Amino acid sequence: MYVKICGLTDPGHVAAAVEAGADAIGFVLTSSSRRITPERAAELGALVPPEVLTVGVFRGEDPATVRAAALAAGVRAVQLHGHHPHGDFTALKDLGRTLIRAVDARADLRCGAFDESMLIVDAPRAGSGEPWDWSAVRGRPSGQWMLAGGLAPSNVAEAIAAARPWGVDVSSGVETAPGVKDPALIAAFVDAARAAS
């Protein structure tokens, strides 16, 4: 089970995610309580070994803005959240970064349909921590797709059983307060996800 921990802002929490065995770590570079600057993301990304994917998360920015921020942050992947048009992904192909499309269940759920190599199927309000009916997408997405939205150590096994994803993505469920990650919750989440798969 592929595991992404999103919304990291602090070196200690980045270390905790790496130590726990996360496959990917997300830095929010768009409007959010978890937003960090590209320069801060570059500092945090320097602490991450090459086998862990560093992801810059965007929502609504145009491709030129995404490109500049992704390069400044040095992230290995770009995640476009919400309803970015196919052309935004096309415009970023030559960036040479892994492209991730993050949408809610109403979108086209075929991974690769927008030339992305990973898909995230999330709650309607990204980063809200609100659970949704994960079983509604069972069998619908294809390819390398992660389930997100309201996941936590206590429910990730249930969510995996309901939706049968390739991977899982979490933010609020490993926090003690909005934007404040907890190393013990990060470790518990990774362990629970791997045990369930």
Ligand X SMILES: O=C(O)c1ccccc1NCC(=O)[C@H](O)[C@H](O)COP(=O)(O)O
Stretch that binds ligand X, among 70-78, 84-92, 127-135, 153-161 (CB under 6 A): 127-135
Which of 166, 190, 192, 197 is closest to 22 using CA atoms?
Answer: 190
Considering only residues 148, 163, 168, 190, which one is a binding residue for ligand X as defined by CB under 6 A? 148
Interface with ligand X includes 98 (CB under 6 A)? Answer: no
Stretch that binds ligand X, among 22-30, 43-51, 64-72, 88-96 (CB under 6 A): 22-30
Which of 75, 86, 61 is closest to 6 using CA atoms?
Answer: 75
Say how far apart CA 191 and CA 130 lie, in whole Å. Answer: 21
Helix, strand, coil shares, percent, the chain, to 5: 35, 25, 40
Determine the residue type at 54. Answer: T
Considering only residues 21, 74, 129, 183, which one is a binding residue for ligand X as defined by CB under 6 A? 129
How many chain residues interact with ligand X (CB under 6 A)? Answer: 25
Q: Are strands 175-177 and 2-5 parallel, antiparallel or unpaired?
A: unpaired
Among positions 35-94, residues that touch ligand X (CB under 6 A) are 57, 59, 81
Q: Which residues bind ligand X (CB under 6 A)?
A: 6-7, 26, 28, 30, 32, 34, 57, 59, 81, 122-123, 126-129, 148-151, 169-173
**Active-site annotation, residues:** 6, 122
